[in-house]
Structure 1
Amino acid sequence: MAKRRKLVAPSSADLSKLEEEFRRETSVPEPAASQVRGVAPIAKIAAEAAAVSQPASAADRARQAQLEASEAKLQEAETDGRLLVDIPVGEIDADAMVRDRAALDADDMLELRLSISANGLRLPIEVYELPASDRMDSPRYGLLSGYRRLMAVRELLGLTEEAQFKSIRAIIRPPAETDAAFVAMVEENEVRSELSHFERGRIAVISAQQGAFLNVEDAVNKLFATGSKAKRSKVRSFALIFEELGDMLEFPDALSEKRGLKLAQALRQGGETRIRNGLAAASSATADEEWAVIDGVISTLDAPERDPKRGGRPRTTPPASGWRDAETLVTSNGITIRRQADADGYSLRFEGRQLDGEMMENLLEEIRVFLERP
């Protein structure tokens, strides 16, 4: 049999040594030691876990939910471009897009500066963030709308050097396709300060040239999609004027609708060269003088230029304008209008080689305006 080991009771010195080693290994710093003295480790762990998992009060939970909802709404507003921010005027590139405004009226700008100086900027401008690759040391934002307001604030800063004009209130719109940006710019200016006929045609041509639209026709249809068919027809006429004579006209914005449509018709009849030659030979100090030159050339377009050395039959004198009878009217440009009456009312028939679909659309629009006049 194996020899059993005899157990010997530890001495008081051995007990003291064991107790000292136990205290050293399980000791905790004050005041924690006093807090857990007499508490089993498992009880301490359970108490800590209960403290962590203790649910917040109803009021605290409501406040937390409200904060989270507000943060989500703020993030959504920033993403959608609905936040107002103050941006240094030097951080905005006013020419990032070709503007639809061809010129700024000095009197209007003075009035705008006085208004902003007295009352502040009532309406923010709209900008979009330029791609980082395009910025480098250049402005961070491109101007979408509010060109006149930005120019007015910059002029006020130059005149006064006041700190309030170093920045401008703006809405940062999310990045958009080029065609959408042009549409937004035109819509904003049509609402704030109506564009001239020539400015509408000009921006349609330029936006198409920059590739934002397939062609001028597509540009007109999308830029002025909310306008009537007759309005888009007029824009196309002034777009033609910009394309053919934009570099020659000194007072294009002064062209009235009636004069512009007459000029566009002359251009469609092939009068571009003669009109350009007439403008080049004349010096016009006013819009009326410039139109007198154009109108004088247009009046000669019905008769093609002929070499006087060549023979031929004499030119037939065109019929005089005016009423031929009670039912027939001939205009100065050779269009015949015949009136007929029946039991249901009246009908008008228009005849003449100058007529086309666009002219008839404009005429119908004029008739509508006349009939709806109070």
Structure 2
Amino acid sequence: MLDPPIGLLLNAVTGVAAWPLFPLLGGCAVLVPVGGLGRFLMTRVLGAVRALADFHRDRAARVLGHKTAPRPERDRTARDLAWLAVHAVVGPACPISVVALFHFARVILYLRTAESSPTVSLTLSLSILAFVATGLAAIPLLHTLHARLTELLLRPSLAGRIRELAESRAAVIDAQAAELRRIERDLHDGVQARLISMRMNLGLIRSMTDADPVRELAREAYDTAGEALAELRALVRGILPPVLADRGLAGAIHAAALLHPIPVEVDIDLPARPEPPVESAVYFAAVEALNNVAKHSEATRAWVRLSHSDGVLRLSVIDNGRGGADPAAGTGLDGIRRRLSAFDGTLTVHSPPGGPSEITMELPCALSSQKISHS
């Protein structure tokens, strides 16, 4: 870390060096509508402003003993320019104020030398000491204050940081969804196809041989391949059900309701499809909720309602069972809550003893323009 006197001097030098950047910015702003030259020059000048701001931001972090946090690109330029305007004034002003204190002490020293009265001479001596002490104390204080001002002006805004984190989380979720789709395709088109081919060959071997040991081995291998194929198909459906990819969220929920052990009435009002990661999360949340109904509710009937309005996707699963569902009881509701939280979704459970139970899930999302099929 630079010593405070050198730091103040550096602030003054860079503050004065910042003055020519303002007319350059104004001239570039005039030239920007003209053509490529203006944009080229503006990019270079803004790059110099950014480099100077980043340099002082790193220095301020070292002075204050803080770590520098990444800044969102959206608000960097405006904050850099605001800091430059303040730094161009405060940077030179800090050392000038210290020099002024020592200059006053020098002037008073001159007056003291010329003064013959002991009382006045003592007062002037005390004044000299006061100015010198103030100047010496002001150097580290102004150095720290300049660092705090730089950190305040250049640190990322809370709204910008939240927006950046939300965008990075969405990018991670999209990447995970794309990777799951790739794994599903590889399993479906690769491993599953090979198992089917192997099982067909084993069936041919079993039908073509008359030797009992060979037939028995072929039968066992055939059955084992069938079990492996069934497990693989279950795994593929758990990653990304084909009905979800082909028919969307509405079709997938209809299919899950048809396979449910108790009657499920489905009411869906969804004009278009959500994004694939949201579709997957809501589908598996709905399936988990229906599984809970079958396992724990002792219900004889269930209802699923899905709609989208005001930018929010709402899914309700209702049953006429015994009630008493508790997210903290390990019935899978806490897992649904965690799944939805990745999309800023919420889970509301209304399940009084004796029933009925209603589980409501809400996720903020936009719908695509692609129409969904209810057939």
| TM-score, L = length of structure 2 | 0.23
Greater relative contact order (Cα 8 A, min sep 6): structure 1 or 2?
2
Q: Greater share of helix residues, 1 or 2?
A: 2
| TM-score, L = length of structure 1 | 0.23
Greater Rg over alpha carbons, structure: 1
